[in-house]
Structure 1
Amino acid sequence: MKKQWLSEPAGRFALSLQMRLLQQSLAAWPRRGARLLEVNCGEGLFLPLLWECGFDVTGTEHAPDLRARAVINAAARAEVEAAADDCLPFEDNDFDWVVLHVAAADADALAASVGEALRVAARGLAVTFWNTASLPGICRRLSGRKTVWPAPGHSWWRVWRLIKAFRTGRLTSLSTLAGPMCTWNRQCVAAPCNTWLRGLPLGAWSVIRLDMAPLRPVTPLPLRLGRGRLRRPEPALEYTQKHLVPPLSKQRKNA
């Protein structure tokens, strides 16, 4: 994120709600011994949070100045590597979970970054982005502001359809900062409205989480063999040190 953005009250307020929403969005992911990759980690403001959640965290950032600050903010709790979001230096399925912060400005670059994140993710992907279809986004365009947010914005519907087209699992979404930017201040009496309706794509900052479909279960052996090929159950014999004791039904017949 840009230093100028975080130096403003709106930026600091937004960051606090972003951290809260990201933590809530990833709450369903198992984290004991799980590896998580944060793509476009910026200056590493989310790295300590993800580490405290229990993940083994690695961050990637392309810009050298941001990457240097990310190393400082990570404080040895996470690894930070140089990489572009459309060319990650990792093997397929190398991480359990991936968090991708969208930095692409156009649809083609967005598709490339999402596809690359899915390549290295084995269990799930969370995509965070600024939603231009939100009320704050609409107000921003009407006011003529173009460089207010610290990253390029995309319509929630575009990102949702893009991820859904991969057909790799189940999608869920949360958003925050639903109120106008004039309410992005803790001193504002209307500030609580920014946390309302988080389950709807109305907020300026959204997280779309993809939980990949589990592997198909193996068919049990009896179902694959069929009844005709299975041996019928036989009565068990009880064994003692002296002799074999026949089943109780045969003992009654002999008596």
Structure 2
Amino acid sequence: FDLSRRNRLLHFRPTQANINLTVASVPLVMRIESIRPESLCTWQATFGGFSEQVLSGKPVGLQQWLRFEDQAWLQTSLERIIQETRRDRAEFGFSNLRLVVAFMRWHNLKDTPDERIVTPLLWLPVALSRKKGVRDQFVLQCDETEAEFNPVLRHLLRQLYDIQLPETVDLQSTSLEQIHADIARQIKLSEPGVELRLQSKPKIELIHQKAVQHLHHFQRRRAGQRSAMAS
């Protein structure tokens, strides 16, 4: 495995090739306290919530969850991902599109203890399509409930700390709380002073701030492109 900073499976970085669905689901309202956590696109286990819909195996209409009316960049980004997925299927015969269910924010205490690393922990294979109609719909489809642990992270955690993660886990029968408890238990066995916290509730104010920043960045980039075309 490539364990350098170039490997985005280890050192994740937001780009135009990926979409933060939680950020895209936040309404850009003035009264942040009016935003209900259960209305956001997160993996919290709530009745009728996003995770339940994804694991049902049925098509999930993203218009129900994402704020297309607030985020002008969203439709273009989804279309780009659909096009890239089609190219992958045509060239390689399969799609690499994944829905990341959980990230791990951690420190390599042996090599770079001061550096905070953000790494995808767990993902599901999904398909994304655009359904034509009077109003086009973007549809997310997940045909299986078995999620894969990031193989690069599995290898590194085993190499550094002897933390053993399975290759896959069935999210229909295993919760993120159980996965967190297992990893935390293994950490405590080797180093009781190190704590692994589970952030399951969305930090709405922070997510709202990111959504506003993302929109402003898109607007500045589009204004710059228009200026370049005009000149």
TM-score normalised over the length of structure 2 = 0.24
Question: Which has more radius of gyration?
Answer: 1
TM-score normalised over the length of structure 1 = 0.23
